[in-house]
Amino acid sequence: MIRNKLLWKNNPQQYGILSKLLHWLSALAIFALFASGYWMVDLDYSSRWYQLVPHWHESVGILLLGFTLFRLFWRRIAGSPSGIVSHSAIEKKASASMIFILYVTLFIVLISGFLITSANEKTIAVFDWFNVTPVVLAIKNQEDIAGEVHYYVAYAMIIFALVHALAALKHHFFDKDNTLKRMTKT
């Protein structure tokens, strides 16, 4: 039997391989960033992780920002699969709104994180591969404001991501439709 050609672009029924890769790598990076952020705020000065974890956290954050811009660019080129026929109009609207919210909150978290480190005019050496110059805005207390935004929006984003994941699992196990399969199956 001839194997199907690898599907790079999305089609009306299915996400292509690149969209799937971008989705699952982003999800992994986001959960890792959340966990490392949660951990590093309580690290003691004497810990050997004290400098290393923030260095990884900032590096992955910057890479994810570039990655997400590319993801949106690819989304325009590859298009999006059509809504699933068995989904109600409300489900389709909820799903599209959730995707929009996830992208918006993700950008807010990534940019506010960058503005926290920027406030002290600190250059981010992304895994020591390349440097990102800081952006200091003409506002007072940049570090505090960016810090508050980063903290609260990160929690909100993780809650939205969990609701989104639960919805996908509900479609898979209870409705037994194609929602999850078209983001996983090659």
Residues 124, 116 contacting (CB under 8 angstroms): no
Q: Which range of residues in 96-104, 112-120, 125-133, 136-144 is near ligand HEM by CB under 6 A?
A: 96-104
Site size with ligand HEM, rule: CB under 6 A: 21
Helical H segments across the chain, by residue range: 17-40, 52-78, 89-119, 142-170, 181-184
Rule CB under 6 A: choose which of 43, 53, 125, 183 binds ligand HEM. 183
Does 18 interact with ligand HEM (rule: CB under 6 A)? no
Assign 132 to helix, strand or coil. Answer: strand
Does 9 interact with ligand HEM (rule: CB under 6 A)? no
Nearest Cα neighbor of 29 from 71, 57, 66, 69 is: 57
Closer residue to ligand HEM, CB minimum distance, 99 or 137: 99
> Segment 53-72, which members bind ligand HEM (CB under 6 A)?
none
* Cα–Cα distances in angstroms (integers) from residue 67 to residues 22, 52, 74, 90, 184, in the given order: 8, 22, 10, 30, 20
Does 180 interact with ligand HEM (rule: CB under 6 A)? yes
Does 23 interact with ligand HEM (rule: CB under 6 A)? yes
Q: Catalog residues that contact ligand HEM under the rule CB under 6 A.
A: 23, 26-27, 30-31, 75, 80-81, 95, 99, 102-103, 161, 164-165, 168-169, 179-180, 182-183
